[in-house]
Amino acid sequence: MKAALIYTDDYNRYDYGAGHPLRMERLRLTYDLIDACGLTRLPTVQVLPPERPGEEWILGYHSREYVEVLRSASVGLAVPGAYRFGLGPGDNPIFPGMYDAASLAVGGSLLAARLVASGEAERAFSFAGGLHHAFPDRASGFCYLNDAVIAIQFLLERGLRVCYVDIDAHHGDGVQHAFYRDPRVLTISTHERGDRLFPGTGFVDELGEGPGRGYAVNVPLQPFTDDEVYLEAFEAIVPPLMKAFRPDVVVAQLGIDSHRTDPLTHLALTVNGFARAVRRILDLSPRLVALGGGGYDLGNVARAWTIAWALMNGIEPPTDLPPGFRPGVSSFRAATLWDPPYQETDEHRRWAREFASRQVQRIQETIFPLLAA
């Protein structure tokens, strides 16, 4: 299995600002843990820095006006009406190097897509990517440029059918929007229900339009959905649809803000449940471009993405953090890679399972016949 890990310390030059939930040091922490586990030195692994993307790739999805606004704001120039582009205090702050940081993430995901499309790697992981909320002319949800969309467009240009699987706690709205009428891309998003969490979308009746009808799939979930309930819904929907669609390549957004201790969301997964979902995605993927995504507890991010990278290389991750690895106390709750068993209360589990069952049934009634699943 040839695999490529995309990373550079340059990611750590950028900072969303004090108090912002998206902390770029999570990327360095993830790489350090992967490296400490010996997963950068495997004979079949390449560790490659991202390449700056050509402007034509960014403009293939984002409007020129928006890109120019990002560039100007990034170097400190005044941008009247920046709020019209989603920029300003709050989720999408203006900070020095903002455009460079966003374009570097795009470059990483494009490199991963190129390596997989060319056969240089069967699996590639650009964990700085997965910024799935950006729209053509505005920033949204901490995302300025949509690297996932741009990577998928690259794959489509090479004649490949793409299944996009998004397991972030937030709906992958920007990616769904980009391919809502395109039957060459099957988008599947599992996420906390949109009437309880940003971005307020991702309901089961959002199923694509025109030639893309049936190719947008949303599995909204109740707060307190734990591993068992999540995996039941995942297994009922994702494998049958992926098998029916028969993609040439899978693009997976592996956000870990679904974890039960994440400070911004309300699902109740552990890294163990996350890993089981990743294993199934790997089983179903002829080739894989893996991206990062959400995750606002730094220790959870590093542990989950280290486990995911090990699984991409066919290696069973160890139980404990590697000897000599000394993370900050605030980053890790315990010296283990895996979580202890966790189960929600009977009331929360019943509530979550009943809701998930209704969503699964609705998808099976509406989308399965359209895709002959």
Question: Which single residue is written with the structure tokens 């069973």?
Answer: 316
Torsion angle in degrees (nearest 10) through CA of 257, 18, 11, 308:
-20
Residues 139 and 170: beta-carbon distance below 8 Å: no
Please provide residue 198's backbone torsions phi and psi, each rounded to the nearest 5 degrees: -50, 145
Please indicate whether residue 170 is annotated as part of the active site: no
**Locus of tokens 């507890």:** 297
Four-residue CA torsion sign, 291, 297, 299, 303: negative
Residues 6+ apart with CB under 8 A from 55: 67
User: Rounded CA gap, 107 and 113, in Å?
Assistant: 10
Task: Spell out the residues 6+ positions from residue 358 whose beta carbon is closer than 8 angstroms to its own.
Answer: none
Which of 223, 204, 224, 222 is closest to 214 using CA atoms? Answer: 204
**Inter-CA distances, 270 with 56, 146, 304, 351, Å:** 40, 27, 9, 19
The alpha-helical segments, DSSP class H, found in 202-313 are 227-245, 271-284, 298-312
Looking up tokens 């490949």 gives 160
CA distances from 37 to 126, 282, 288 (A): 18, 21, 22
Spatial separation of the C-alpha atoms in residues 226 and 237, rounded to whole Å = 17
Question: Of the candidates 353, 179, 333, which has an alpha carbon nearest to the alpha carbon of residue 260?
Answer: 333
Single-letter residue type at 222: Q
* 133, 171, 191, 259: the active-site residue: 133
Identify the bridge partners of residue 291 per DSSP, sorted by sequence position: 126, 253
What is the distance between the alpha carbons of residues 229 and 227, in angstroms, rounded to a whole number?
6
CA-CA distance, 316 to 152, in Å (whole number)? 29
So which residues are the catalytic ones? 133
